[in-house]
Structure 1
Amino acid sequence: MYDYQKKFTTNRLILKVIDESYAEKVVEYINKNKDFLTPWSPLVNEEFFAVQFQAQKLNEDIKKMNDGSMLKVWIFKKEDEKEEIIGSISLNNIVRGVFQSCHLGYQLSHKEINQGYITEAINRVIEYAFDELQLHRIEANIMPRNGASLKVVEKLGFESEGLAKKYLKINGKWEDHIHMVILNEKME
């Protein structure tokens, strides 16, 4: 079973696994950032914005964490007593065996961009993925027009392995993605 009390800290942030008791806070975060995140996200229907749907999604995430195929943490500022969610990071499609790899996904509130929060948070998740989960590689697929996101992963040491044409359907359109990768140099 996954440790639901799992928390990671950085200088300014708390990254933690949350359960369905946070569904209202997730919906609040999604609604506040709907316009900002839509150009970078798959299409969703109105059900996505319901507390019940998000509670179910949080439970599904915990099941995936229990089976070892995912890690998802939500980002909070240390000094925020209201515990407002400012973003999330996920390691999806964790594959073991000879691959030892995963896909990185992340998002941040429009109010919090350009303050280094997402770089700080992803750096901590990478440390955990490499040191504790013993993953060999983390892959991030980013649309070429998302310069801010590319800048974040480049700062963290990700390198381009090329362009994947019409890789993911984002906001209703098949989009090219730059395949960015970081390797765990501690693993032989």
Structure 2
Amino acid sequence: MNSPNLAKLELETERLVLRVSDENFVGVILDYFKRNEEFLREWEAVKDHKFYTIHYQQEALRDEISRIAAGGTFRVWLFRKSDGFSRTIGSVALNNIVYGAFHSCHLGYRLDGEEINQGYMTEALKKVIEFAFNTMGLHRIEANILPRNMRSMRVVEKLGFYNEGLAKKYLRINGKWEDHIHMVLLNEALHALND
């Protein structure tokens, strides 16, 4: 991989700081999940009561930092510059990062229910995609989106993702196997260099 120490990374956009967060941010991250428990339920896997504890989130952050250091995952938490680091409004993750002949990953993202329709996620995703393609050297980013999640679909379409088809019963969301639309973005600059 062609990148700096991802476990200590911080990126900036016009309004946001995107930061890899360790155990020092456990309270802020737990607060995010508690604030958004109802809002996220429709879009994510079922979480039991342990998920909403400091201990669980500390373990999750330790595990995540290990996976980031190993190069298989990359997640940044979104902080508005106006808030400092006292409150996060979401996260963007590149999961299942594979190099070799693949050079690809899966994209996941979540935003605070009170912050939707303000362009924060588009702003954050642009920066993470730029980093993934230009610094990490990835060739392909895949996002799998519930067909009814029109806000999420609009965000990736604005960023140039295209529809590669429907994955039937792809992920278990809120206790039910759900179809997902498979959206893809290719690193055209990398692709052009190899053509």
The answer for unaligned runs of 5 or more in structure 2 is none
Which SS does the other structure have where 1:181 is aligned? strand
Aligned residue for 1:169? 172
**In 2, Cα distance between equivalents of 1:49 and 1:135:** 33
Q: Within 5 A, what are the aligned runs for 1:74-153?
A: 74-81=77-84, 83-153=86-156
Aligned length: 188
Contact 2:79 2:85 in 1 (8 A): no
Q: Provide runs of 4+ in structure 1 moved above 4 Å.
A: none
Contact 1:39 1:171 in 2 (8 A): yes
**In 1, Cα distance between equivalents of 2:176 and 2:6:** 37
1:50 is aligned with what amino acid? T
Aligned residue for 1:24? 27
Which SS does the other structure have where 1:62 is aligned? helix
**In 2, Cα distance between equivalents of 1:106 and 1:129:** 14
Alignment TM-score, normalising by the size of structure 1:
0.97
> Aligned pair 1:156/2:159, yes or no?
yes
Cα deviation code 1:76-118 (max 9, x no counterpart) = 0011135200000000000010000000000000111000000
Which SS does the other structure have where 1:167 is aligned? strand
Q: Within 5 A, what are the aligned runs for 1:13-92?
A: 13-81=16-84, 83-92=86-95
The answer for unaligned runs of 5 or more in structure 1 is none
**In 2, Cα distance between equivalents of 1:128 and 1:164:** 27
Contact 1:23 1:52 in 2 (8 A): no
CA displacement at 1:6 relative to structure 2: 1.2
Which SS does the other structure have where 1:41 is aligned? coil
The alignment yields a C-alpha RMSD, in angstroms, of 1.1
Contact 2:73 2:96 in 1 (8 A): yes
CA displacement at 1:2 relative to structure 2: 3.6
Identical residues among aligned pairs (%): 51
Alignment TM-score, normalising by the size of structure 2:
0.94
- More helix per residue: 2
Which SS does the other structure have where 1:148 is aligned? helix
